[in-house]
A and B are shown apart, each in its own frame.
Chain A
Amino acid sequence: MLAKRIIPCLDIRNGQTVKGINFVDIKEVGDPVELAAKYAADGADELCFLDITATHEGRKTFVELVKRIAAHINIPFTVGGGISELGDAEKLLAAGADKISINSSAVRNPKLIDDLALNFGSQFVVVAVDARGDENEHWTVTVNGGRIPTDKELFSWAKEAEDRGAGEILFTSMNHDGTKNGFANKELSKMADMLKIPIIASGGAGAEEHFVDVFTKGKADAGLAASIFHYNEIPIPVLKKYLKDKGIVVR
């Protein structure tokens, strides 16, 4: 059986791992390669690195970092942040990234998904979708960390991304992100019934049982989280054992 994946996500600024809450009080806390190696040794199934650097120099540093990650880490990893054209993706592929994640740039220019899939294969293209639901359960796609609403609706956008050649959807519910009350299982499940590509769930992880729910009720293929792993609230080996005991297939 295909195992459910656990994916720690690392935010990177100027080549360093950073930790912060809602972009406030961001602190640089060390070498991403060291942290990534620890997660890989702990049993993480994949890793995700998001570049939150704004400057040109910082972007170059990120590409150098991706090379170091590729040299040291023996599991697949996705990189994202600031990829808006084929050339950006090509640099990251050449540096050794297994997949790239695009978000705002895909919303602005959906054809980017087609171009990336055509040039590098669907397996290389993760489309990240941040969305917020209102009281009528209408889910609006947002950009810039959930701050700016767009005219796109979550489910139709996810389907469009699949049709254009996305290999995976990384869905973050802005309603759940940071709450630690569990993932958006209802929406994830609806999406899983609609799409033929794997779905990575993000936003809301706070306890071991949230991962059981996201894989059963939410029908997700992978669960992504940041703070619970960074602050060692749930060590990966503990989480994996818990999932196994609950009958979830994990490696």
Chain B
Amino acid sequence: MNIVIIKYNAGNIESVNNALNRLGVNAEITADPDKIRKADKVIFPGVGEASTTMAYLRENKLDELIVSLKQPVLGICLGLQLMCSHSEENDTECLGIFDEKVKRFIPKPGEEYITKVPHMGWNAIQDLKSDLFTADLENEYVYFVHSYYAEKSEHTIATCNYILPFSAALHRDNFYATQFHPEKSGTIGAKILENFLKL
């Protein structure tokens, strides 16, 4: 199987490669449009800021390419946010694969203490749908690090609760995306990556 990880100006791309290697899978990290188009599976990971990464994608014409892909695509973290229509992070127009908007968490004063932003750490995923998740993953904990979230919608295939219920994962046609980091989510994350590879 020919797996490609899209190379762009975002962090943590190597972590995804490491996680695939642990599953015994070799992936290629590349920005070559031909290689991306021909891959069996494409992963679009990322940690970073929305406006600078979107600008980079446009400059390198990766925006049109990603939207046109037909094989299974998995966006991770910033990847998910960039696949939405708009992000409040520096008022950025994104790829629009999902029509959802990305908003900033507002810290919430609680009875005990302020709910912090970023949402950082392990949280449970619920109401799982689609082939990306198997039933045994309901309520399992996965690792999140983010200050912005995608709203819940018809495309939501996993929900997480932090300050409010938000989309922990989205799916439309061949496009899948997780707000959490499967590559850093222990054995649960490894199962989710395996499920994606089986699509």
Interface residue ranges, A against B (CB under 8 Å): 1-3, 5, 40, 45, 70-72, 74-76, 93-94, 96, 98, 120-124, 167-168, 192-193, 195-198, 219, 221-222, 251
Whether A71 lies near B113 (C-beta < 8 A) is no
One of A71, A75, A96, A167 near B186 (C-beta < 8 A): A75
Contact B107 A193 (CB under 8 A): no
Most buried by B among A2, A45, A120, A221: A2
Given A74-B19, A74-B183, do A168 and B141 touch, yes or no (CB 8 Å)?
no
Bitwise interface map of B from 146 to 162 toward A, beta carbon under 8 Å scored 1, else 0: 00000000000000011
Q: Which of A96, A123, A197, A221 contacts B15 (CB 8 A)?
A: A96
What residues of chain A lie closer than 8 Å to B45, measured between beta carbons?
none
A196 touches B117 (CB 8 A): yes
B28 CB within 8 Å of chain A: no
Query: Smallest distance from the beta carbon of B195 to chain A beta carbons, Å?
Result: 16
A45 CB to nearest B CB, Å: 6
Which of B91-99, B120-128, B130-138, B165-173 lies at the interface with chain A? B120-128
Which of A75, A123, A195 contacts B120, CB < 8 Å? A123
CB–CB A2/B162 < 8 A: yes
Smallest Cβ distance from A195 to chain B, in angstroms?
8
Does B35 make an interface contact (CB < 8 A)?
no
Residue in A1, A71, A75 whose CB lies within 8 Å of B161: A1
> In this assembly, does B104 line the interface, its C-beta being within 8 Å of a C-beta of chain A?
no
Chain A residue at minimal CB-CB distance from B119: A2
Q: Which chain A residues lie closer than 8 Å to B181 at the CB level?
A: 76
Cα separation A225 to B117 with both chains bound (whole Å): 24
Contact of B121 among A45, A120, A192 (CB under 8 A): A45
Q: B114, B122, B162, B184: which contacts A98 (Cβ < 8 A)?
A: B184
Contact A96 B18 (CB under 8 A): yes
List residues of chain A with CB within 8 A of the CB of B12: 98
Q: Which residues of B contact A198 (CB under 8 A)?
A: 116, 118, 120-121
A104 to B181, CA, bound (A): 31
Complex-state Cα separation, A135 to B81, whole angstroms: 50
A2 to B112, CA, bound (A): 14
In contact, A2 and B121 (Cβ under 8 angstroms):
yes
A221 touches B183 (CB 8 A): no
Is B69's beta carbon under 8 Å from chain A? no
Give Cα A71 to B14, complex, Å: 9
Q: Give the residues in chain B near A2, CB-CB below 8 Å.
A: 119, 121-123, 162
| Contact, CB under 8 Å: A3 / B11 | no
11 A-B pairs, CB-CB below 8 angstroms? A1-B161, A2-B119, A76-B181, A121-B47, A124-B47, A167-B118, A193-B114, A195-B116, A196-B107, A198-B121, A251-B122
Q: Which residues of B contact A120 (CB under 8 A)?
A: 11
Q: Which residue of B lies closest to A74 (CB)?
A: B186
Q: How far is the CA of A229 from the CA of B124 in the complex (A)?
A: 26
Q: In the complex, which of the residues A70, A124, A168, A251 has the most CB atoms of chain B within 10 Å of its own CB atom?
A: A251
Q: Are A93 and B11 in contact (CB under 8 A)?
A: yes
Which residues on B sit within 8 Å (CB–CB) of A5? 121-122
A74 touches B189 (CB 8 A): yes
Q: Find chain B residues with CB under 8 A from A40 CB.
A: 186
- A123–B116 contact, CB under 8 A? no
Whether, in the assembled complex, B40 has its beta carbon less than 8 Å from a beta carbon of chain A, the answer is: no
**Option from B116, B123, B187, B189 in Cβ contact (under 8 Å) with A196:** B116
Instruction: State in angstroms the CA–CA spacing of A221 and B121 once bound together.
Output: 9
Closest 3 CB pairs of A and B: A251-B141, A3-B122, A251-B122
In angstroms, how far is the closest chain A Cβ from the Cβ of B42? 22
